[in-house]
């Protein structure tokens, strides 16, 4: 039943592979808890009741994170409930599979306010100057770091890029289109500095492999892989790389690729960009998501207040 729902999400709803994978994870965990709470080996979505949903919410609220040993954040709890609600909506679409719990009865918790971590311009400079540029991997890593800060792209978007996406013509135009989260198309802009390092990186590539960013170490390439897909950098490998250079630069912030995305947005707002434009550049479907960055620009607002409000 869950597999049918996941296929529906992929084919009919056109959800990203990442979202489908997470739905699978959350629903599988929900099913395991449900089976255990009812002391039954086999359970059906038809067994689901409002009381069971309420009990599951209590379970999530009391559960500890495997990473931090703290309680699960409200945003994490909501991901489980969102997956359940989407599944119940699917049950409504497929009439013969209707559940006794209506999707709208699955109430999400009020999300906790998030203040994103970000790097200032000096910290970004320190981060991007720690690579060993005598090595191909160092030039590649510099290109990736400059690219992340220049574009504000999500790591999932970056690793899916192919060489054809960043042609010499595109590097001259300094803009290209990507299919981002939710299968939405948006335009991404590349700075002069980022374009320079991308050109330098691509000049070191003597292969014809498809992926834009490839690894130079690790296990050998698959024999039946003429396109070089097995060499494509993974999100995890880029996360490790960013963390390594942040440590080398002596940065106190726990730097991730997403922190560079936060830094991109904050830098734009501090320079005077409007919220709607930043929303478009980040690919947020709702401006309320972008509004988390207004908290970190309070210093700029304070300077404006002191400059123009003398009394």
| Average pLDDT score over residue span 108-135 | 89
Active-site residue among 181, 196, 215, 300? Answer: 181
My answer on whether 8 and 134 are in the same domain is no
Residue 261: active-site member: yes
Q: With cut-offs at 50, 70 and 90, classify the pLDDT of residue 292.
A: confident
pLDDT beyond 90 at 185? no
Q: Domain range spanning residue 301?
A: 121-305
Give the HSE-up count for residue 54: Cα atoms under 13 Å, Cβ half-sphere: 4
The three-class DSSP label of residue 214 is strand
pLDDT at 303: 66
Mean pLDDT across the chain, nearest whole number? 87
Question: Domain boundary residue among 72, 105, 138?
Answer: 105
Q: Give residue 294's pLDDT.
A: 73
Q: How many Cα atoms within 13 Å fall on the side-chain side of residue 11?
A: 7
118: left (phi > 0), else alpha (psi -120 to 50), else beta? Answer: beta
- Which of 85, 142, 261, 262 is an active site residue? 261
Residue 242: band (very low, low, confident or very high) from pLDDT cuts 50, 70, 90: very high
Catalytically annotated residue among 89, 243, 258, 300: 258
113 within a domain of the structure (yes/no): no
Does 164 lie in the same domain as 42? no
For residue 109, the 8-state DSSP code is P
Whether residue 162 is found in the same domain as residue 264: yes
Catalytic residue among 140, 232, 262, 284: 284
Supply angle C-alpha 95, 101, 103, rounded to 5.
Answer: 80
Average the pLDDT over each of 97-106, 151-160, 249-258, 295-304 and give the range with the smallest value: 295-304
Residue 42 sits in a domain whose CATH number is 1.10.150.130
Q: Tell whether 213 and 92 lie within a shared domain.
A: no
Q: How far is CA 56 from the centre of its chain?
A: 26
Q: Which residue in 45, 201, 245, 293 is the catalytic one?
A: 293
**pLDDT over 90 (residue 24):** yes
Q: Is residue 293 flagged as an active site residue?
A: yes
pLDDT surpasses 90 at 48: no
Give the predicted TM-score (pTM) of the model. 0.76
pLDDT greater than 90 at residue 190: yes
Q: Percent of the chain scored above 90 by pLDDT?
A: 47
Domain contains 310: no
113 three-state secondary structure: coil
Instruction: Count CB neighbours of 298 within 10 A.
Output: 10
Q: Is 258 known to be catalytic?
A: yes
Question: pLDDT band for position 299 (50/70/90)?
Answer: low
Mean pLDDT, residues 2-22 = 88
Q: Is residue 297 scored above 70 in pLDDT?
A: no
| Residue 152's pLDDT band (cuts 50, 70, 90) | very high
Within-domain flag for 112: no
Cα–Cα distance for residue pair 252/249, rounded to 1 Å? 9
pLDDT value at position 311?
Answer: 58
Q: What is the mean pLDDT of residues 246-257?
A: 93
Comparison of pLDDT for 65 and 285, the residue scoring more: 285
Residue 127 and residue 271 in one domain: yes
The reply to whether 171 and 275 lie within a common domain is yes
Nearest one of 277, 269, 273, 274 to 297, comparing CA atoms = 269
Q: Binning pLDDT at 50, 70 and 90, where does residue 3 land?
A: confident
Q: Is the dihedral of CA 136, 138, 141, 145 positive or negative?
A: negative
Inside any domain, residue 233: yes
- The domain total for the chain is 2
Confidence of residue 43 (pLDDT cuts 50, 70, 90): low
Residue 42: pLDDT above 60? no
Is the distance from CB of 124 to CB of 186 less than 8 angstroms? Answer: no
Catalytic-residue membership of 35: no
Query: Where a domain ends, among 105, 137, 161?
Result: 105
- Report the CATH number at residue 236: 1.10.443.10
- One domain for residues 287 and 167: yes
Do 14 and 49 sit in the same domain of this protein? yes
Do 57 and 188 lie in one domain? The reply is no
In the chain, what percentage of residues exceed pLDDT 70? 90
Quick check: helix, strand or coil at residue 111? coil
Residues 83, 229 within the same domain? no
For residue 112, what pLDDT is reported? 74
| The two structure tokens encoding residue 189 | 């802009």
263 with 198, same domain? yes
Candidate list 140, 154, 232, 262, residue with the active-site label: 154
> Considering only 44-48, 141-145, 212-216, which range has the smallest mean pLDDT?
44-48
Asked whether residue 133 is assigned to any structural domain, the reply reads: yes
């Amino acid at each position: 039943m869950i597999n049918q729902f996941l296929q529906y999400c992929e084919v009919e709803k056109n959800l990203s592979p990442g979202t489908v994978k997470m739905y699978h994870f959350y629903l599988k965990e929900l099913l395991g808890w449900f089976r255990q709470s009812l002391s039954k080996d086999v359970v059906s979505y038809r067994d689901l009741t409002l009381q069971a949903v309420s009990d599951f919410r209590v379970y999530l609220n009391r559960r500890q994170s495997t990473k931090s040993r703290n309680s699960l954040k409200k945003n994490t709890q909501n991901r489980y409930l969102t997956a359940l609600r989407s599944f119940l909506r699917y049950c409504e679409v497929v009439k013969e599979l209707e559940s006794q719990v209506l999707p709208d009865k699955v109430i999400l918790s009020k999300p906790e306010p998030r203040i994103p971590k970000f790097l200032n311009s000096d910290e970004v400079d320190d981060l991007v100057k720690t690579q060993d540029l005598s090595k191909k991997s160092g030039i590649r890593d510099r290109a990736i770091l400059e690219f992340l800060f220049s574009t504000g792209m999500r790591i999932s978007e970056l690793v899916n890029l192919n060489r054809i996406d960043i042609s010499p013509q595109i590097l001259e135009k300094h803009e290209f289109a990507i299919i981002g989260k939710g299968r939405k198309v948006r335009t991404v802009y590349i700075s002069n500095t980022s374009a320079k390092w991308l050109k330098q990186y691509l000049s070191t590539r003597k292969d014809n492999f498809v992926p834009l960013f490839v690894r130079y170490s690790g296990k050998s390439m698959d024999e039946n892989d003429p396109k070089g897909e097995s060499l494509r950098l993974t999100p995890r490998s880029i996360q490790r790389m960013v963390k390594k250079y942040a440590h080398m630069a002596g940065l106190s912030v726990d730097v991730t690729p997403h922190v560079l995305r936060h830094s991109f947005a904050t830098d734009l707002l501090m320079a005077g960009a409007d919220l709607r434009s930043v929303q478009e550049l980040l690919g947020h479907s709702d401006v309320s998501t972008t509004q988390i960055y207004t908290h970190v620009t309070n210093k700029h607002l304070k300077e404006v207040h002191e400059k123009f409000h003398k009394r």
